[in-house]
Amino acid sequence: MRRLVFQKKSIIDWEEVPNPKIMGINQAIVKPITIARCDLDLPILKGQTLFRPPFAIGHEFIGEITEISEDIAEEFPIGTRVAVSFQVSCGHCVQCQKGISNSCDTVPMTSGFGMPPGAAHFGGALADFVLIPYASQMLLKIPPHIDSIAVASLSDNISEAWKLAG
């Protein structure tokens, strides 16, 4: 599969990587269908942030579930449209239970899609497919009548609002 990678200042390029695979419980593979541009994306590409390349980009997205682990298949059937939190969090550790999911104890600090250091492990949304760990925690169903373009930034804005309110 292909994913878009920030290679160096002002340079992005597609790279081939293996297709993601479901390796355990509570996981989904999502095909991104709508991706929003974050306010950080242009400064990243211009080399105006502390983020150092290379890393996969894209973190605000709506996707469609293409594969799902058996334990959550009834909750998230294949074909379901979802917003995916850009912040990776388990939903069960002490920090997540306190509502501080951006400080999840289960994953390294600042784990997420499309920005370092998390992008090295989790990839980015500008890809053919994205593996979602902790899917029941990280996915928000989007009803079919909602325009995915109108809500593509939910994956960032809802996570950030929750963090700031918490």
pLDDT in tens, 123-162: 999 999 999 999 999 999 999 999 998 888 877 766 666 6
Confidence label for 164 from pLDDT (cuts 50, 70 and 90): low
pLDDT in tens, 11-57: 999 999 999 999 999 999 999 999 999 888 999 999 999 999 999 99
pLDDT of residue 159: 64
Residue with the larger pLDDT of the pair 118 and 136: 136
Q: How many domains does the chain have?
A: 1
- Apex 71 CA angle, 21 and 60, nearest 5: 55
- CA-to-CA distance for 99 and 95, rounded, in angstroms? 6
Q: Which residues contact 66 (CB under 8 A, 6 or more apart)?
A: 29, 30, 31, 78, 129
pLDDT of residue 153: 82
Peptide linkage before 117 cis (omega within 30 of 0): yes
Greatest C-alpha distance within the chain: 44
What does pTM read for this prediction?
0.91
Closest by Cα among 105, 67, 62, 70 to 86: 62
- Apex 89 CA angle, 118 and 9, nearest 5: 20
Query: DSSP class of residue 87?
Result: B
pLDDT in tens, 62-115: 999 999 999 999 999 999 999 999 999 999 999 999 888 888 999 998 899 998
Identify the domain containing residue 33 by its residue range.
Answer: 2-165
- CA-to-CA distance for 144 and 107, rounded, in angstroms? 32
Buried b (16+ CB within 10 A) or exposed e, 92-103: ebebbeeebbbb
pLDDT of residue 160: 66
pLDDT of residue 152: 85
Separation in Å, CA 142 to CA 69, 131, 145? 19, 18, 8
Output the domain CATH number for residue 145: 3.90.180.10
pLDDT of residue 29: 98
